[in-house]
Structure 1
Amino acid sequence: MKKMLLSLAISTALVGCGGGETLQDVKQETTPVLPSASVKFDPSNGVISIPNDLLLSGTKDGTLNLPGEFDDQGQPLPAAAYANPSLAMGGLDGWSTNMPYVIDLDVPSEVSINADSVATPDAVRIFEVVMGASITDPDCASDKVPAGIACKYVGELEFGPGKDFVAKLTDSGKGIMVVPLKPLKPGASYITALTKSIVMADGRSLEPSSSYSLVKAEAPLVTDSQRSLQAVVQQYENVISGQVAKEDVIYTAAMTIQSVGAVMNNIKLGLAQSLQTQTNPRISVPEQPMITVSDALATVIPDAETRAPFQAVQYMQGSIMLPMYSKKPEGTAIEDLAGTYWKARCDSAATLAGAVAAGVDLSGLTPGANDAYCNAASGGVLRDFGLDQSRFLTKFNSIPSIEWIANVPVQITKPRAELLGIEMPATGWPVVILQHGITANKESLLGLTLALSNAGFATVAIDHPMHGARGLDIDLDGKDDFNATSGQGSVLSYMNLTSLLVARDNLRQSSADLLALRLGLNFIDPTLGINPTDVSFFGHSLGSIVAPNFIAHTNKPIGNETVDNLFKVNTVGLASGGAGIANFLTESGSFGSFVKGSVLSSAGNLPSKAFLEFMTSEATAVCPAEIKIPCSYALYEKQLVEAGNTAALAAIQSVISQFVTVAQTALDSADPVNYAASVQALGTPTYLSVVTGGVDGNQPDAVIPPTTALPLSGTMPMAQLFGMTAVTETQEGEPKNYVVKFSQGHHSSIATTTFEEDVGGTALGHAMTTLEMQKQLATFLASKGMKLPVENTAVIAN
């Protein structure tokens, strides 16, 4: 985490920042009468705020071009090097859709900024634009407008609460924070402009930097690179000049938002194409003795009387072959996962275009093994010549490489109609795909199967990658080396803090697995009495986090109704999920200390050194080895708070905040924040339950907080993105999206009546919450979203 957040030595690859004289060399000497505050902007000396599309200049493959991505010979670094958070964003084709960003100011000690002036509609303006070299707008194609140059005005975002964004002065008074209230459009470009409406305490306007003033002015500059930067900035202002007068602008910066969804869309298309060759995933169920869920739960619930009701649910095991896009690691340490993130199957279109522009004759190159496929699948846009060594997945290169095929166990349950007093439909039992939470396994949701069986549902479930039966035993010693399920390994196997691109792709693999499982359901043995044409979904915790990406793509039409029906999911139920993963993890009562301690211990700076020294002190002797990091961090933070050491706390918060920014940017293409609205637009009825607490001292969900410090992170922000209505009474009529808040219970109440005393509430209250949640879920799914019962209002929160 050294050089964590791009207070980087911006390389000469930046437009307008290369060789010869710097802008500083041509600044005119001035002697200000009064000290003034200005916007920090001096690219020639590496002073820029991010996000900023200057970091796309010089790119060879369409990804952000970060210092340190190439070795001394100019060759790309190995894949594992991108485990370094300061490089992780170099594998992305743009910036975050949802993270706040700060524009740094130079504020002398005797000057202050009027905070109220920052928080006004005219102070910070954000304009959607089309940039040059567009692949979607022919008016702005590369043969008409070069990359990096603003081409066309599209629209302006609205400022203010309940609108698109707000802005405020940072606590230090030396920055302007822009906070998105709605996700920015993936793949779109925006120009952020600061105006003279931002004033200092004495009423004078905030000033542009001297560098910005020079490139803004019409006077010709000295070097080619300086003139290039001048052309970029002046065109920014030209494109938005119909909305804001140039003379009022003191700063502009463009940011292109990363693409999301293209990779998963290609995975679905690949699965659909596999139908033609009959190589598609299929659920296989061998003959087996009849056992019940009660039998399967015997090791977890020894008391036969307690589990007796589950004798009414049949338990079966099957398997399915799933394509894996993450490589298997070569070693057995967590660090060996660093280079296993997804790679593209083809050369990037951006790399190919750059080669052609440089005079390379592609017809004279030797095609690689994937060339015919790449050429056919992309209509000639993508090829495989080995020109793109990094193979990052971007909008220019969105076909992932299948690395291996996994034989994945499938858990199946069915109602025993004769014991439940119900009748199987003539078409077979409708089925619910279940997906479990982090550190759990597919068996953890067996407690939900009785309620679903009573409602007439069969269920199918698989483990997440590197969970449960899907752990990886690399050295073949009979023990998993990578397994995130509690008691079977480290959560870092999946929630990989050592490589953010791997963490992102573990999430994407979970969503891709669900796509393949949904397709495979169509080929289950029809004599089992399961109806693959009537499918719903339920996800808990992590299962509800990967669900929006899955549902947004499985229900997205591909233009073939027959194939579309093979992927269709009718109705969705979610419990205890959330959007804005990186931020809610740091605020999580269960994971926060672990995440912050892990980040701080590996940061490689002074705050990190101080924490590592504390970890070896007597003060942490009380911390068991298995929870050494979170325990030590909690003690360390407590000690600093009690000592009033605000400087150390601020330094730690800076490290954590920088990590969260990079982490969320890396995770964006797997995060619900970018898919929930698509699910709503598709008209898929969705129900969400969340424990907000409030009765008998019951605390809110301690794993995924209902709300966080950021407006787009947590459970309730996800509900808002789904367009959900919060309800406290029974709903009937048209299918809609609902969220129900519970005043008692805990993170896993949907699946178990267990009382978790440490979160507050009562044993009876927790049990009632489970029954109410399960009744709501089963009824909502059975009615296809047309009915949501709210019966036990004693556990319902307003």
Structure 2
Amino acid sequence: MKKLLLPLAVSAALAGCGGGETLEDVKQDTKPVTPVASVKFDPSNGVISVPNDILFSGTQDGTLNIPGELDGDSKPLLSRAGYADPSLALGGLDGWSTQMPYQIGLNTPTGVTIDAATVAAPGAVRIFEVVMGDDAQTEACQNLSPALACRVVSELTFGPTGDFVSQLSEDGQNINVIPVKPFKSNTTYITVLTSNIKDTIDGGRSLTPSSTYTLLRQEAPLVTDAQKSLQAVIRSYEQALVSSESIGADEIVYTAAMTTQATGPVVGTIKQLLASTFGTAKQPVVAVPDQDFMSVADKFTDLGLAAALPPELLQAAGGIRYLTGNIQLPQYLSLPKNGEDAALADTYWQALCDNGVAVAAAKAQAGGQLPEPEAGTVDAQCNALSGGQLRDLGIDAQKFVSKYNVIPKEQWIANVPVQITFPLSEAPETGYPVVIMQHGITSKKEDMLSLTLALSQAGFATVAIDHPMHGERGIDVDGDGVDEFNATTKSVLHYMNLQSLLVARDNLRQSTADLLALRFGLNAINAFSQVPLNFNTNDVSFVGQSLGSVVAPSFIAHANLPIENELLKAAEPLFKVGPAALSSGGAGIANFLVESASFGPVVKTAVVQGASDLAVSKKFVSYLQEGAVADCGTFAGSASAFAACAYNTFVANLEAEGDLASIAAINGTVDQFAYASQTVLDTADPLNYAPLVRAVNTPMYMSVVVGGEGENKGDQVIPASTLPRNPLGGSTPLAALMGLETATESKQSTDGTAGRYVVNFSQGHHSSMLTPSFDARTGGTAQGHAQATAEMQRQVATYLASKGLILPITDTTVIAK
């Protein structure tokens, strides 16, 4: 991992420095600033807090323009692999995070302290949803530049039960803004700091704007076009706010706009691309070749698991048939060029076409007439799929997939093995209902077989595939029969790629796309099976474990959302998914990875190693090469366990030495990484699809191991909550945003309406839905863990079989109160 660049600096070009009098020159003529606290804001010297839409300045494709991306002529400086840097990865995004807390930096003179109580009070920080210029839905805004604020829509509610809270950072140098509800996607907000924020001197003096901001908000004699443009932007923010009569001009100390990312259009486009193959040779189908029946018990024997299973379970597994099939799935991730981990850096999704921003700019520059496309392009396809908004004219060098470029390029077709089970009992007249099962990270589809007994007893057939770069879908670059890339057998970082966050994001999106194609392909399983099958493909449910639960909200929302294209409406029912059961999932992926007892030290190890500009990083690398071998040698067989031991021991040594400065440097670097990584991962994060799952009213059950009294610690992989880092991270916030009711006793519908529930377990561990084994990291008892597994499986099977009408809770000793 390359060193972090956050806090982000803005290039001088944003303020138009160079040529004539600069903004800095103008400031020299102003009176000395009164020594009171002010907001850090000086773009000409690279001082700006993020998120801030000023970083869209100079964009050629509607994505953020991060310093270091482009040269002075707005031409790319970076190869695709160059975006592996966590900060530069933000340059591939069409907006900011919907959920991450953010900071606004302060200048506090010596002896001046901000009154924390004033920062945490209502009215100190205010946030407004706004409509920007060039908005087609608002006539008065259509002719304004999209960089200018047009009108206020509404003000967000302050407070722990509202939309956000604010607080002073521990060091007193920043104001923290913390969402307690996610921002809407593809929406612009203006954050305002007000004069209600005061210091502790002379009864409290108000926070002041920086001298640069003061010049920009006024009709100051600025010189260059870039300076004037930035001035127009700041003035538009304040004018929109004041004209709404929501706030007075004298109350405003600072404003910053942020536009959140568009989280759904790309995967929504993939659904339409799949639908367009309906009835053609390109339609994905689950094909089952002729084969002898074997049982799940036989498969357990093949996997070497039979000896570890209770005899009664193995006997019952003998009554479940096991088959294998395959499906051809379009892959939007490109293949690595060699077997080195660094080769994954540029495999993230690429758009098929030139983006709409570049096309519109080229059209305007050419007087409305675009050049003819060169031979060999996909211009006709881009033109047809987008109604003329997207073309392939060679004018978009980077081709980032975004809301301005929603069609990803199909890189290759994967022949993906499909695991299939069904009961020996005769199928109902309508056929066996089907459950799609999706496994967790570093796991594989075969690990879901332990759940098939409960599902088969409830009458279900099941299908399952591996996530990309898991199980049988590892990547063997050189064809020697050994995978170079496989998160199941090699490294979790091959999938959750901390070396290239855009790749990590698109691995998650590929998992969603694969599930959509699998669901679509199920419709043909009876026709394309050379073994007699009778599956009811109109009755499909879903079960996700861990990572399978993380990608589930995006999959379920997109599967059940209507198709707007009337020509493709006939395919809409072929994607439908009924009741779903999730276990050990969570939102705020970057935050729960950092807070995870299992993965957190691994993440932090990678981050600190990569922060080569920190003195403590050099010390840590030296420790890994020398002392860690002695301290953590017993974990040498597991890279993740070794990293966890090494990191925890290193930090403990710093604490023992009283080296608080190094610990603060580590925490600050991890915070920067968490902000950058969550922002990049946002379009794949389940938090952004939870409201859609609620909107389509899919029946949903979720189990969460929260722990209980004594030694019961709860899930050690994905925590129930990531407080205080992020109130929106973890399992519990995801359940709340999906609108799930906490159930502690059995539920049964009396009106035919499916219930939507989350059940919190006091016993068990991250994988309890699949295995009754004891996990000492979680605490509790072996008996309690076994009981939790039995209770979870009973709940899942009954809930799905009853279409969400019944949730049995029979063993209350493992249910958290």
Q: Is the TM-score greater than 0.5?
A: yes
Residues 1:396 and 2:404 are matched in the alignment: yes
CA shift, 1:14, in A, is: 1.8
Partner of 1:772 in structure 2? 791
* TM-aligned CA distance change 1:498 to 1:341, over 3 Å: same
State the one-letter code of the partner of 2:736: Q
The CA distance in 2 between the partners of 1:457 and 1:593, in whole Å, is 40
The CA distance in 2 between the partners of 1:19 and 1:480, in whole Å, is 56
Residues 1:711 and 2:727 are matched in the alignment: yes
Runs (4+) of structure 1 exceeding 4 A deviation are 15-19, 135-139
Please identify, of 219-228 and 747-756, the stretch whose mean Cα deviation from structure 2 is larger: 219-228
State the one-letter code of the partner of 1:623: C
Q: Deviations over 1:317-372 (max 9, x none)?
A: 11000000000000101110000000100000101122223337423442652111
Residues 1:620 and 2:629 are matched in the alignment: yes
Q: Secondary structure at the match of 2:436?
A: strand
The CA distance in 2 between the partners of 1:82 and 1:321, in whole Å, is 30
Q: Deviations over 1:145-192 (max 9, x none)?
A: 113111222111111011111111011101101001111111111111
> How do residues 240-255 of structure 1 correspond to structure 2 at under 5 angstroms?
240-241=241-242, 242-255=245-258
> How do residues 462-541 of structure 1 correspond to structure 2 at under 5 angstroms?
462-485=465-488, 488-525=489-526, 527-541=532-546
Partner of 2:173 in structure 1? 174
State the one-letter code of the partner of 2:378: N
Partner of 1:557 in structure 2? 562
CA shift, 1:764, in A, is: 1.2
Residues 1:759 and 2:775 are matched in the alignment: no
Partner of 2:219 in structure 1? 218
1:95–1:258 Cα contact (<8 Å) kept? yes
The CA distance in 1 between the partners of 2:8 and 2:735, in whole Å, is 37
Q: 306, 312, 325: which one pairs with 1:301?
A: 306
* TM-aligned CA distance change 1:365 to 1:285, over 3 Å: closer
1:692–1:701 Cα contact (<8 Å) kept? yes
Residues 1:317 and 2:324 are matched in the alignment: yes
Gaps of 5+ in 1: 418-422
The CA distance in 1 between the partners of 2:19 and 2:526, in whole Å, is 68
Q: Secondary structure at the match of 1:166?
A: strand
State the one-letter code of the partner of 2:219: E
The CA distance in 2 between the partners of 1:36 and 1:178, in whole Å, is 22
Q: 575, 579, 597: which one pairs with 1:571?
A: 579
Residues 1:729 and 2:745 are matched in the alignment: yes
Residues 1:411 and 2:414 are matched in the alignment: no
2:39–2:210 Cα contact (<8 Å) kept? yes
Please identify, of 561-570 and 425-434, the stretch whose mean Cα deviation from structure 2 is larger: 561-570
CA shift, 1:137, in A, is: 4.7
1:430–1:534 Cα contact (<8 Å) kept? yes
State the one-letter code of the partner of 1:65: N
CA shift, 1:302, in A, is: 2.2
> How do residues 127-206 of structure 1 correspond to structure 2 at under 5 angstroms?
127-134=128-135, 137=138, 139-141=140-142, 144-202=143-201, 203-206=204-207
Please identify, of 211-220 and 39-48, the stretch whose mean Cα deviation from structure 2 is larger: 211-220
2:12–2:43 Cα contact (<8 Å) kept? no
* TM-aligned CA distance change 1:17 to 1:102, over 3 Å: farther
Residues 1:742 and 2:761 are matched in the alignment: yes
- Matched length: 788
The CA distance in 2 between the partners of 1:191 and 1:303, in whole Å, is 58
CA shift, 1:621, in A, is: 2.4
Partner of 1:341 in structure 2? 348
Q: Deviations over 1:676-702 (max 9, x none)?
A: 110011010111001111156222100
State the one-letter code of the partner of 1:566: L
Partner of 2:65 in structure 1? 65
The CA distance in 2 between the partners of 1:303 and 1:716, in whole Å, is 33
Q: Secondary structure at the match of 1:295?
A: helix
The CA distance in 2 between the partners of 1:18 and 1:124, in whole Å, is 35
Gaps of 5+ in 2: none
1:16–1:230 Cα contact (<8 Å) kept? no
Q: Secondary structure at the match of 2:106?
A: strand
Partner of 1:645 in structure 2? 659
* TM-aligned CA distance change 1:197 to 1:585, over 3 Å: same
CA shift, 1:22, in A, is: 2.9
Partner of 2:358 in structure 1? 351
The CA distance in 1 between the partners of 2:90 and 2:572, in whole Å, is 34
Q: Secondary structure at the match of 2:683?
A: helix
The CA distance in 1 between the partners of 2:145 and 2:17, in whole Å, is 18
Residues 1:685 and 2:712 are matched in the alignment: no
Q: Deviations over 1:733-783 (max 9, x none)?
A: 121221101111111010111122332111111111001001111111111
* Root mean square deviation, CA, Å: 1.7
CA shift, 1:705, in A, is: 0.5
2:373–2:392 Cα contact (<8 Å) kept? no
The CA distance in 2 between the partners of 1:623 and 1:748, in whole Å, is 26
State the one-letter code of the partner of 1:233: I
CA shift, 1:135, in A, is: 5.8
The CA distance in 2 between the partners of 1:187 and 1:13, in whole Å, is 26
* TM-aligned CA distance change 1:137 to 1:572, over 3 Å: farther
2:33–2:211 Cα contact (<8 Å) kept? no
Q: Secondary structure at the match of 2:307?
A: coil
CA shift, 1:635, in A, is: 1.2
Partner of 1:659 in structure 2? 673
Residues 1:380 and 2:379 are matched in the alignment: no
Percent identical: 53
The CA distance in 1 between the partners of 2:20 and 2:193, in whole Å, is 29
* TM-aligned CA distance change 1:145 to 1:368, over 3 Å: farther
Partner of 1:435 in structure 2? 438
CA shift, 1:219, in A, is: 3.7
* TM-aligned CA distance change 1:591 to 1:536, over 3 Å: same
The CA distance in 1 between the partners of 2:135 and 2:33, in whole Å, is 43
State the one-letter code of the partner of 2:403: K
Q: Secondary structure at the match of 2:593?
A: helix
State the one-letter code of the partner of 1:23: L
The CA distance in 2 between the partners of 1:75 and 1:31, in whole Å, is 40
Q: Deviations over 1:13-59 (max 9, x none)?
A: 425556433323222443466x3100011111111111111100100
Partner of 2:266 in structure 1? 263
2:64–2:92 Cα contact (<8 Å) kept? yes
Q: Secondary structure at the match of 1:528?
A: coil
Residues 1:51 and 2:58 are matched in the alignment: no
Partner of 1:420 in structure 2? none
The CA distance in 1 between the partners of 2:297 and 2:373, in whole Å, is 62
The CA distance in 2 between the partners of 1:444 and 1:608, in whole Å, is 38
Q: Secondary structure at the match of 1:85?
A: coil
Q: Secondary structure at the match of 1:518?
A: helix
* TM-aligned CA distance change 1:367 to 1:682, over 3 Å: farther
Q: Secondary structure at the match of 1:550?
A: helix
The CA distance in 2 between the partners of 1:730 and 1:455, in whole Å, is 18
* TM-aligned CA distance change 1:210 to 1:296, over 3 Å: same
The CA distance in 2 between the partners of 1:339 and 1:644, in whole Å, is 42
The CA distance in 2 between the partners of 1:221 and 1:15, in whole Å, is 11
The CA distance in 2 between the partners of 1:425 and 1:230, in whole Å, is 70
The CA distance in 1 between the partners of 2:475 and 2:122, in whole Å, is 53
The alignment's TM-score, normalised by the length of structure 1, stands at 0.96
The CA distance in 2 between the partners of 1:82 and 1:603, in whole Å, is 16
CA shift, 1:133, in A, is: 3.2
Please identify, of 691-700 and 91-100, the stretch whose mean Cα deviation from structure 2 is larger: 691-700
2:703–2:792 Cα contact (<8 Å) kept? yes
The CA distance in 1 between the partners of 2:238 and 2:799, in whole Å, is 52
1:16–1:228 Cα contact (<8 Å) kept? no
